[in-house]
Amino acid sequence: MGSEVARRAKGLGMKVVAYDPYAPAERVRAVGAEMVSFDEALAAGDFFSLHMPLTSTTQNLFNKQAFAKMKKGAFVINVARGGVIEDAALVEALDAGIVKGAALDVFEEEPPAADHPLVKRPDVVCTPHLGASTQEAQEAVAVEIAEAVVGALKGELSSTSVNAPMVSAEVLTELRPYVALVEKLGRIAVQLVSGSGGVKDVKVTYTSGRSDGLDTRLLRAMITKGLVEPVSDTIVNIVNADYTAKQRGLRITEERQPTERDEILTSVSVALANTETRFSSCRDSSGAIAVEGCVRFGVPYLTRVGNFAVDISLEGPILFCRQQDQPGMIGAVGTILAKDNVNISFMSVARQGPRTTAIMAIGVDDRPSQEALAAISAVAAIEEVVYLALDA
């Protein structure tokens, strides 16, 4: 409820601050709010909307001392629980003009007595806490639950899950194509690893034009899914991703690089440090296995492998060849694949200069046989070959 109020307040051009000792800062930023301390919130607020449960720590949270720290002329809305506001203190604050007006949907005793000091005041609006009990509300909840269940069964992301990263429906719409991208980047990166050491250190860099609103937990979960599932029997989802990463010893660090483009994301890069690789051209200048991608018209693209700029649509398996750039290479590899009855969807070459080391990326519809891969590796100018599957 509080997050919904925050979104609507932001839509009205208001600056929103929040106090919640339990909510992750990322979750607060995801709705466009700023996390502050309780005293900071009291000093800054013009409107207070309360949405906490009634516990021993929230009982009479808004008391005489709290009201004394507010700006004069504030408004208070309590749609949480009766008892989080000390009634006598609110009466004093209203009489003193500290609180200019209040809206109360809950009381310590419900219904409140007819002579309750906050009832029938011209500066207090009282409502009977029946919003969720109307026929319209019950129908809306039933429809929402049914739609959420159907979406979950279809494997769609949810903006209402309580035990998964919370992302608003609006932000989720923007992030959805990048969710597919980051999982594929994870799958590509882990398939470039060799040796028994596995993956331990992962650095994810998000290029974003937004100073707030980017909750990376969902993206981090999908990167973990891409890194773990191709090399294990573990099924990773947005609920267990962080736990799975911890159990497997994955150290994932994240950073955001600003850009002038007003987009929630423009690119994402994944780098695996301190690991061996079976494709040396995927190493960047720091020695890490590095891949980077973006989204164009809803389709994920691979834009960099190591220090090589590429432009590859991530819609199917890919064959990478490290080679010396020279005439006849495309024809030689294409002929081998044709003999293996493997259809090519695209072929592109990334190089750092004419007749130098190059990467040939080949989109294929099927996995080439071991014999075909060995034949490609045997081509004189080819130094390395790796096949990458992008789907589970």
Say which of 7, 27, 29, 81 is annotated catalytic. Answer: 81
129 is catalytic: yes
Q: Which of 129, 176, 351, 367 is catalytic?
A: 129
- Greatest Cα pair distance, the chain, in angstroms, is 95
- Identical fold between 37-129 and 164-315: no
Give catalytic status of residue 27 as yes or no. no
* CATH class entry, domain 164-315: alpha beta
Domain edges within the chain: 37-129, 135-160, 164-315, 316-392
Distance between CA atoms of 288 and 290, rounded to whole angstroms?
6
- Cβ(250)–Cβ(190) below 8 Å: no
Q: Tens of pLDDT along 152-185?
A: 676 566 666 666 665 666 667 778 889 999 999 9
Q: Is the domain covering 316-392 a CATH 3.30.70.260 domain?
A: yes
Find the mean pLDDT for residues 272-282: 91
Output the six-digit token pair for 260: 């002038």
Could you report how far apart the first and last alpha carbons of the chain are, in Å? 37
Q: Which amino acid is it at 180?
A: A
pLDDT average, residue stretch 334-346: 93
Q: Which residue has the higher pLDDT, 217 or 190?
A: 190
* Confidence (pLDDT) at 167: 62
Give the separation between CA 33 and CA 3, rounded to whole angstroms. Answer: 9
The pLDDT value given to residue 169: 66
The pLDDT of 365-383, averaged and rounded, is: 92
pLDDT one-digit tens code per residue, 55-86: 888 999 999 999 999 999 999 999 999 899 99
CATH code for the part of the protein at 37-129: 3.40.50.720
Give the Cα separation of 209 and 258 in Å (integer): 6
Angle at 279 between CA 273 and CA 284, to 5 degrees: 45
Average of per-residue pLDDT values in the chain: 88
Neighbours of 293 (CB within 10 A): 24
Beta-carbon contacts of residue 250 (< 8 Å; ≥ 6 apart) = 199, 200, 202, 224, 227, 228
- 258: its two tokens: 């600003």
User: C-alpha distances in angstroms, 27 versus 231, 279, 386?
Assistant: 31, 38, 39
H or E stretch at 226: helix 217-228
